[in-house]
Structures are given as C-alpha cells and as structure tokens.
Structure 1
Amino acid sequence: SIISVARDITERKAVEQELKESEEKFRLIAEQTLIGICIAQNKDLKYVNKAFGEIHGYTAEEMYEWTINDLFNNIHPDDLPQVEENRRLRETGDRSIHHYSFRIKTKSGKTKWLDVVSRFIHYNGEDAILATITDITELKEIDEKLKESKHDLDERVKELTCLYELSKLVENPVISLGDILNGTLNLIPPAFQFPDITIARITYDGKEYKHANYEETEWKLSTMVEINEKPLLIEVYFLEDKPFLKEEHDLIRDIGIRLKVTLEEKEAQNRLRESEENYRMGFESSTDGIASADMEGNFIDFNKPFLEMLGYSREELFKLNFREITPRRWHEMEDNMIISQLADGKDSGIFEKEYIRKDGTIFPVNARFWIIRDDQGDPVRMWGIVRDITESKKAEEELSSLAKFPSENPHPILRLNRNKVIYVNNSGNYLLDIEEDDEIPDIFRNEVERAFETSFIVDVDIELKDRVYSFTITPFVEQNYVNLYGMDITESKLAELKLIEINELKSEFLRRASHELKTPLISIKGYSDLILALHKDQISSEIISKLNEINRGCERLQNIINNLLKTSQLESPELKPKVQKEDLSFLIKFCVHELKSLTKARNQKLDLNIQDGQYCLFEKEEIHDVISNLLTNAIKYTPPYGKISINTEEKGDFMMISVKDNGIGFTEEQEGRIFKQFGKIERYGQGLDLGIDGTGLGLYISKRIVESHGGEIWMESEGKNKGTTFYFTIPSSK
C-alpha cells in the first residue's frame, strides 16, 4: 500500500521568497552605499561590499580571501591595542555595540582614518559580527586643522593678554623702573605654552631682574633692544626640552619693543620733570622778579621777589592785570613793543618803565619780556623779568649831584669803558692806585663785562687795604661805559659777621642743650614707666596720678626738645628738602585720621574739601609736619563744638592748602608775631576751653619748611574771636 503525506509549504515558500527578496535588497543597498560593510564569522570574512574594499584599496573579490588577522595587520600600530581590546571583549561574551575609530594602511600605503560600528548578528544560523566602516580621513584632517587653529588662537590670546597687561602696568604714572621690569617678568610665563617650566631674566643698565627659580638651560629664547644707547636683554628658558613656538619668538620681540618705547618715554618724562624742577628752582631762587601772563595781560604765574617788589599777596595779584600795576603813561609804549615783537619774533630787549605798588607808590624798574607761541605759531603767553632799580637810581642821582666836584667826593668814583679807565677821582686813585687811561683793574673786569652783557646793575664787595668796600656798577650800554660808585662798608660787614657768629652759637647751644636734656628725660620717664609697670598694684591712686602727670610732663618736654632740634636743623643753609612727586590728597587724609581722636574728644566738626589724586613736589615727612601742626593748632584754639575745614586749590604752578577754623582768631599785633621763634600767643586766664600747650616754635618751623620748598605761608583773621585761616603753597607736579 502507499501512504502519502502532504504538507502545506505555502507559508514557508512565502517566507523563503521574502527572505530572498530581503537579502537581495540588502545586497542592493550594500553595494550602492558608500559605507563599507563586512560580515565576519569564525575569523573569516563572509561578506564584503564594494565600498569596504575601495576604502582599503582592494576589490571585494580580493578581500574575500582575507581573514580577520589580515585586517588587523593593516591597522596602524598605535591604534592596534584599542582594536585588540575590542576583540578580547567579544571573545569574553560582550554582545554590546562597539563604536570606535582607528587608522589603517591601504593597499597603496596611504593612511586613512576609519569610523567603525560593530555588532552581533545571526548569519546562516550562527553568530557573526557585522561591521560598518566610514572613511573619516577628511573629517580628521579638518579636526586637526581646527585644533591647530584653536591652539594658534589660544596662543594669540595669551600673547595679546600679556601685551595688554604690560600696557596697564606701564600706565601707572609713578611706577618705578624696577617695578616695570619685575612686573614684565611675571607676565612672561603665563603667555608661554608651558608656563610651569618657563623662567626669565631681564638685564638692563647693569642690573638683573629674574625669577626666584631662575637657572640657565640649553632651551633658550632671547631678544635685545637698545634704549637710549643702553642694551636691554630679555632671556626666556624652558626647564625641560620643549620647542619654542613662532608666536613665542614674536611675543618676546614685541615685549622688548614695548619696553623700549615705554622706558624711553619714562626717561624723557624724568628729564622733563627734572627740567621743570630746575626751572622751578631757578624761578623761585632768582633775585629778580619773574612773571607770566596770557595775551590779555592776566597773570598766570610769578615768583616771590615779584610779589615782594609790588607788596601784594599771591591771591591779590592773581586778580590783577599787567596794566593795573603799570602807570597809564607806559601803556602805549608797551602795546607798541608787543606789536613789534609779534611781527619780528624778537624779545623786547631791556627797557626802563615803572610799576605801581599796592600802597600806590610808583617805582622804576628795568624790564625785559618775550612772547611764547604754541605749535601752530599762535601767541599764547608772555614772560617778563623785572628788576627794581630804585636804589641804583638814587645812586645815579647822588653820583650826578657829585659830578660837578667828583674829585672832592670821599668815596671812590670811576667811569670805565670795555677796555680802560675813563675817569677816576682822588679817592679812587688812592684806593686802587690807578690813573685815567689805565687798563680796567682785574678785580672789576668780570663784573664790568657782566654789566655790559646783561645791561643790569651789578654789585660787588671787595677787600682793599684792610677795609671792605661795596661797589655798584651801573651800565650805560648805548654810551659804552659803566659808572662805579664805591662805599666803605667795613663796620656793617663786621656787624653782619658778628650776627652770623652769634646765630651759629645760638643754634649750637640749642643742639647741645636739646641733646643734654634728652638723657635725664629718658631716665625720668623710664623709671616712671617701670614703677607703674611693676608696682602699680602696691601704690596708692594719688601716687599713680602723680606718676602719670610726670609722664605727661616728660612727653611735653620731649616735644619741646624735638622742636628745638628741628629749629636748629632748619637754620642750616645746607639743609635742602628731598622733594619728589607725592600724593598730597592722601597725606592730608592721613594727617586728619591721626588727629581724629582729638576732634572727637572736643566734639568738633572737621570738613575735608579736597580732590583725590592731587600730586605735588615735596618731602613727605616735612609737609606732614606742616599740615599736622596747622591742624593741631586749629583744634587746640577752637572751642568745643567748633568747626574746622581743610581746602586745596590750584594756583598756577602751585597748590594752595588752607586750614580754616571759627576759633579765637588774632589781633593785628598778634599776627606779626606768630611766625617768629617762640612767637606763641599766651591764652592763660582768659576763660577759654582751649589746649594751651606749646613752645611757640611750631609755626616758625612750618614757615621754614614751606619756604625751603619754594612756597609761602601766611594767615588771615578778621580779629579776636572771629576765626583764622592759615594758607601755604607748595609746587604742584603738573
């Protein structure tokens, strides 16, 4: 018999057909895609698409003969450990998707970067690995270029930051050379690619500036610039073998150039400041009056002799015009001289005119002025030098009155031209042993030449035949001769020398007395402090009070001794202040802070009306004493609940500081004494709640200090119980 079994395989056939179609679709897609695809099973390559072969530089047919090991042989040695680790994980059962990248060597020897994704699949009923690869070589190259660009940008940012910080560093107007170079050293390591191993040294003007861990190595970068004919060397070292970047070469060169520009500017500014200080010293030390005004004739600046000549205060003269101190009959002449100078550019030459003093008296002067122009050639300022010739005029009048009988005059009288004696009277003949037509005596030759050259009167003291004579040499340039008028000043000279000797003895006495007083004073205060420290709990409150009074008395005596020593020091002609540019605003605030407890104890209000950053030329310790002394006086002589104010104001090339109070004030008689030694105004027994300690030396010391700085000090008071304002000036630094 026949048994027939029939099975419906329609569904299976359909599945097989669907699977076949799916495989054909997969192959169609796989062969068309640019992504490389391979299937590996049992260490053999079971499937490789066209793109996979092309990426490796082979045909798919060639790669079908490969094993997994052949693939691994083409991987870059540096990337092989990563790929081996992935294979190890697969062998231990890791079935996760792996995504990584590595380099291969193609058939032509070219290196490519591949992005790889691998996963487990079932293939022909068994486990297999499906790997897709993408050629990312161009992306990697772009990425490397981006990294290089980012690195270049980072280096550029560091370079610009370094140069910016250097610019900020040198902007400080009072920074020293040492601070600039040390600051530059600190900016160098952060600007380099390896800051932790970067050290530097700067050598300039015989000095070295270097990092604490500085040492010379073989990995060096340096640059040199010349600053005012002096070399500046910058050396940068790596402590390890690292290459320097081109940007670092450029940076160190730029730092050198920036330092060159900065230091040359600083030196130019220092020379300018020294020039201005020398000008100010000459301006203030001149015995002639010097003044400047704008083209309208309004005063801009003037020195102390000019003020003394006219009798005005600085504040009063600032409110006046040149015409207001000149008699009307000279106005037209001066206008014509200004017009002439504007036309030909020459100074006025020396001419004679008159001025009007504050008290209304008119006096003669020799004057000379010139006009200053700006960069565009426009006139902006006038400068003038004047000399009071009142005394020489009187001498000329006396000489003229004696001209009829000069031979009978008891004083030596001569007339000289540039080479010889034109006339000599009997007294001059006897004293100098010369005749008419003789050559000019050597003792007068230099002074006569100076009188001719300057057209100014020259005074000279000469010792002749055991006597001292003062000769006045008056030039008459147009007539080409000078007149000499001599006078015996032996007695007045001796008196002057005696006064100098007495003053030196006084100063020496003050110095010695002050030092001698210091020793017992130290002992007294020392033992008093010792008793209070060791036995305070064993002695009565009354004795403690007495010991405290001893200490306060010692402190007062110490202040007196210090003032006496300061006075004797200030009287030395060799003592000059060591001026430099200082912050006046800070110093005033510092003095106010020191005395704050005193004003608080007396319930006084202290107003501070100053601007920040006001710089002047002064010795800080000296001007500190002046400000503190004026403030202390204002506090002491202003009753409780009073008001004190401090103000600053620019006055031409000077800064004016004022300390105003609403205290007890001064009478006219008292005003004339306060700036003298021991010029204290006694306030005992007047029923006022005041601090009355003091020696009367404080204002005298302040006056000497201010005048040694080229300034002035004065006071104004409307009278008793109407308050006082003390003013003083010091040179500003602009």
Structure 2
Amino acid sequence: MSKEIVNAKMKLHLVLENINDLVAILSSSFPYTVEFLNETQWKKVLNYSEDDLIDNSFLDIIDEPFLDQVNNILRSKKEYRELEKDIRLKTKNGLLVWFEIKKSIYMDNIERDKILIILKEISRFKELEEEVRNSEEDLNTITKSIPEIKFWRLFTPKKYEEALNRSYEMLELVINNIPQYIYWKDNDLNYLGCNSNYAKLIGLNSPERLIGKKNSNIFTNIEKIDELNEKEREILKTGQSTYHREEIWDVSNNSPMIIDINRVPLKDLEEKIVGILVSFQDITEKIEKDKKLRESEQKYRNLIETSSVGILELNLIHNEISYINPKLIEILGFDKKEKVTENEIKKYVPIHDLKERVQSNENKKLEFKINDNKGELKWISGKYVNHYNSEGELITLRFWLEDITERKKYEDLITELNMNFLNFSTEIQDNIKTLLKTCKKLLNADSVVYVSEYNKGKQKFFQLLSTENNKFSLSKDEFETGYFLNNFFKKNHDFVQYYNIDIKNIKFSKTDPFIKNHLYSTAFGKKITSDDTSNSIICCFFNEKLEKSAQNQLVLFLIADAIEIEQKRWKATQHLRKQNIRLHEMDKLKAELFSRVAHELKTPLISIKGYAELMKILFSENLTQEMISILKSIEMGCRKLERIVNKLLESSRFEQKKLRIKTRKANLSMLIKKSIEEMQGFAKSRNHTIESNLHKNLILKFDEEQIHKVLTNLISNAIKYTPPGGIIKVKSEKYDSKIIISIEDNGIGFKEEEKKYLFKKFGKIERWGQGWDVDIDGTGLGLYISKKIVDLHKGKIWMKSKGRNEGSTFYFSLPIVN
C-alpha cells in the first residue's frame, strides 16, 4: 500500500470521526447490511458501536412507522428528494430520534454498487415544530372564544414577543446551568422535560429525548420504579410539597448516590394540579464528609477525655464553663469519676482572673497558684486558645492546664544547688561543708553529718564532718562500737534509709555524742559508694518524725551525688598532681639530656672540623682533587651537624627557661633587608626571586640577634619548600599598636591536617619521596624556636595556607613600645 493511499485513508478517518453527522455505507440490496460507519458519532448519538451494527440490517434500527418509507428510499435508484427526508431511528436504549436522511449511490473498486447515507439529527427542530403547532392550536381556541383578544393580538407590539422569548431563553439557561438535577411530569407521570444535568445522569445526550417517557423507560429496577411512582402520585394526590428528603438513587452505569430531593406539585391559574416538579442534588460527598467529621470529633473527644493535661473551656457568650475534662477534675483534688458542679470549679479556678488576662492580650502562657479541694497548694501552668465566630467575635476560650507543683519544688531545689555550686572553691572539704548546709536547709533538718572512711597505713579510720563544724577522726573500733552512724555502712546498698531512734533503749544513747547531746528521734540518710573500696555516708538528724516523701528523697540523692562528684574530683586532683610532678621531672630530665648530648657532640665536632682545616693547610700541595673534595664534604657535614647541635642547645635553654632576650631600640627594616641579602645566594641557587615591600624605618625595641634567627628561619623555609622559579614576598604592616611582618611564597603549601604540627618541637612534616623539587633537610626545631623567641617579645606568630600547591604565608607580630 503506497504512502499516499495510507495518508488519504487517515485523512478520511479523521474527517468522518470529527463531523457531527452520522455516516454509513450499506449493501445495495435488501436487507441493506451495514458495512461501514463513523463509530464515534453513532455511539455518541444513538449509543451503537460497530459490533452492534456491522453485518446487520440497517432497517433493524428504523422506527416501525417509517420502515416502508426508508425501504423505498434505499430501493430507489435516484437521489433522495427533499420532501421525503425526515425519518425516525431507535437508540440502543429504545428512545426515538429524528433525522434528516441523504442518500447517494456509488461503485466500489471492484465495481459493486454501494449506498452511502448521511443522517443529520433534527430532533430539536421537530420538538420546536410541535411546540409551535400546539401554541397555535391553543391560541386559535382562545381567540375564537374571546374576539377581543384576537383583535388585540393583531396589534401586540413585536417587542413584547421578543421580551417573552428572551425570558424563556434565560429560564432555560438557568435551569441547565444550576448544579441541581431537575425534571417535570404531567399527571400521568409522563416526562415533560428536564435540565441537562438530569439528562446526562440517566444517559441521554439531550433533554428532548426524555419527553414523553416514563420511569419504566429510564430505570431497570422494578422496585425503584414503583417506589418513585408511588411518591410522585402521593404529591399529585395530596397537593402537598415535600422538601429535603434524603433518598438513595441507583442509576444504571453510576454508583448509588445519596440525594437531597424536593417534590412540588405544579398548579395552573385555577389551582388545579397539572403535574409535578422534582429537583434534587447529590449529597453523597457531603454525607461522607459529615461522617468523617463526626468520627474525627469522636476521636478528638476521646483524646481530650483521656488526656494527661487538664482542659477547661469557657463560653464567653453565656459566661459559663462549657467543658472540663476528667484530668482537670483530678488536678482540682476531686475523684475523676465525681460529678463536679460549675460553682465548685469556680471555687478553685480563678475564672475571672483568667478572662481578664486574656482580654488584656498578655502572653498566652499561664502560671498561677490554687488551693485544691483537699486544701493543698498547687502550681498550675498552661496556655489558652481563642475561638472566634465568623464576625471575628471572641466566643470561647480553651485552656490547657497541668499540675507543675512537683516541678516547682524541684526547680527551687536545683536553684539552691546551683547557687552552691557557683560558690564552690578549689577546696573540696569546704564544698562538702556547703553541701551539708544546703541539705540541712532544704530538709529542715536539725543536723547533717558526713562520714568518710580512709586508710592510714594498714589501719582504717573514719572522718566525721557536721554542719555544726565538728570535724574529727575515729579508729575503726571506736566508730563501729560507739556511733549510731555505723548502721548506714552495714548495708550493702545505697538506697535511702530511715531510722526511728528510741533514746531509752538504744545502746548508743551514752556513747554517740550526736544522740546523747541532742536527743535526736529520727535519722534519714544513705550510703555513698565509690569506685574503689572506700565508702562514705550522709545522715540527717531530726528532733521530730520525718515524713517519707519523694521530694525529701530527691534532695538526699542530689546532695549525695554532688558529694560523690567532689570525692571524685579530689581523687582526680590528687592523681593529676602526682602526674604533673612526674611529668615536670621527666621534662627536666629530657632537657638536661638534650643539653648534655649537644655538649658532648660539640667537642668531637670541633676536633673533626679543626683537623680537616689543618690538613688542607699543611698538606695542600700533596692533596689530590679527590682528597680536597672529601675534606670539603667533611666540612659541610660538620657545619650541618653544628647547626643541629646549636638548635638542640637553644631549644633546651628555652625549656629550662635559661634564655633571656636583650632588647634595645633598633630599625627592624634594616634587619629584614640584611636577612634578605644573606639569603640571596641560597635563593639564586634555586632560581627564586625575593621581593620586599617594607617601611623605610621601623624603630622598635627587640633583640636583634634573636629576631634575626626568626627572619632567617622563615625566609629559608620559604626558599626550601618552594619549587624552582618561585617568588618570595616579604612585607611589613602597621596595625594598631604592633608591626606585622609577613613572608609569602607560592610553594607547596599545607594541608589542613598538617597545620597542627607547626610551631611544635620536632614538628617536621615529611617532604621526602613525594615528587617535589624541594629541600628536605631540617630538624623540626626552627619554627618551635621562632615561636619561643616571638613569645618572649610578647608578640604572636602564625601561618595561613589555602591548601596543597596554594603557597603559604607566615606572619609574626611585634608590639610597638613607646
């Protein structure tokens, strides 16, 4: 098949599927079988598909009164005449539709006759003709009976007819565009009309197709048909309208829907019932939303009923409490299930004060005190939410309240402890005394005693410390046989312990000074366990019986924990003190070792260097070139080793704090220029350029010899760690009361993890074997010594580098001293 034929067929298909008329090709002889049709339009207008009509007779869908007429049209060898063109076809649902038919005869590609028919729907025109005919008949009847009207009709201005037509058009537009479904019937329950919504609902393309039909032509459910007919007959019988009735409609090809339906009898001018008007709307979605809303409200109600927070709602319109949940009833000191009146609630909740606070637009956070139903003081905290009506008027207040009494007590306790901690000193024993006094105050105790055990040699002793500043030690035997406090040490746990002391019968009444002198009746305390074998206790004495409360236990636990922290701090301090002494001794030994090794190295180094120079002088005429080269290497090695030894000695002097700087007024600019000049040879050997941007005169007080070491070290490092062909920039800046010197290079730079090794002793970063053309010699002492020198001048030294191969800049600052 050629491309042109394919394109032509595609174009033909597009045209046929997009025209409004129905097109079909039939066989040329009876029974006129359908061979082709434009399915889209046939399905849209008559609800037929190709499967319904292809290879079936076209006459099967013709309305019976028109069969002969259509048969004659198809049998005729002539084109169909204009006067005989109107016929009526049946839809798949059994409805009747008017069409204008046109017929042509043509021959197919194998020269067979075919019939082409084109059907144009004219139902609307037919209905209008019927309406006009009916109107004319009614008008003729009236004009015959009342000649005056007939005469008046002849002179009715045309504008009134136009206005009436516009009103009908407007009414039809409104009916077809409102969201409700509307239909109307006569007294025999025949459909007289409907709006577009209802037509679409029952599967019709236009409202006109419904006219003359009954419910039995629309619905398939017999029970539903009988039910609808019964309800509509009831309206026609009683003449009473019904409004907003909920019903369920099950329309074919649609899911069942819940509707809100109105049925109204239609009456003429004589109040005679002539039909019924029905309107309804789909409320399925609304019903589902209402159902979900009710479920959500129930869940919310269950949530607030079981909430751990008290909830109170005030109705400001009626000035009453509209809701209170069980938790708030419990907070107010009542039983949860107890019925509490509004007046009772108002006794304990300051409703008037709460309303005033809200109206004054204060912070929405609340905190107030109440006395509950049992007479107990309670702290209440919470917040409120405003609810407004559609006019923006405040109508209700909802309060979310919780009992924070315990939290308030704990806050006071923590505040007291924090104040004590702020007053703590480095003396552990003074801190423990402060904690004992705090414990006595918070528990309202008469005395608080702290006992700790310790070893002295092979013997165990107990040290006692009280809030009355009594401090003494006892041997193990003295403490265990003569003091009531030993009872706390006997327990193998650190839980809180209560004791009621019977003065008359207790064996310690004569030996224990705390009981003998003060006649205490209650003891309340706990054991404080340590990581090691030693333990301690804290005990509170009372002259009256103590109530066992959670708050009292909490106070004791917190004080005991604070004492335990102090004990650990004391042990840690003792350990650190010993370690510091040991480290100091090791540093001292190390410094002495460095100094001694350096001195021991220096003596043979001087001999080697001296003998090498002596050989060159005494035997210069007898030395070969190779011998001279060896002696030069010996000299170079000696100089290198000499520099290392000098740095070791210098760092050792720094550590032993033996180095003192000698400052005097001098020109720092001149010293920098001198240092650059000394480094020029080294720089040229590596093909570097040194640039300087210095102030002409920088007069400061400094040690020229030591600062010269710093400059030489920083400049030589820049030369060493920059590949050949680099640029080194030396710059001076004045900033506030100091001079800043910077040495910048474009060398290999530093990674972030390498920076931490700078300025530390032996903090050399390995550069060997990484492919850079740089000098790898060094001891890792140069920057360390430079920092020490700058520190002695009360200056600072630091470095900046963006990373590898980004270069680096070293800075040091010196103060300007007047």
Q: Given the two structures, how large is their TM-score scaled by the length of structure 2? A: 0.33
TM-score (norm 1): 0.36
- The structure with the largest alpha-carbon Rg is 2
Structure with the bigger RCO (C-alpha within 8 Å, sep 6+) is 1
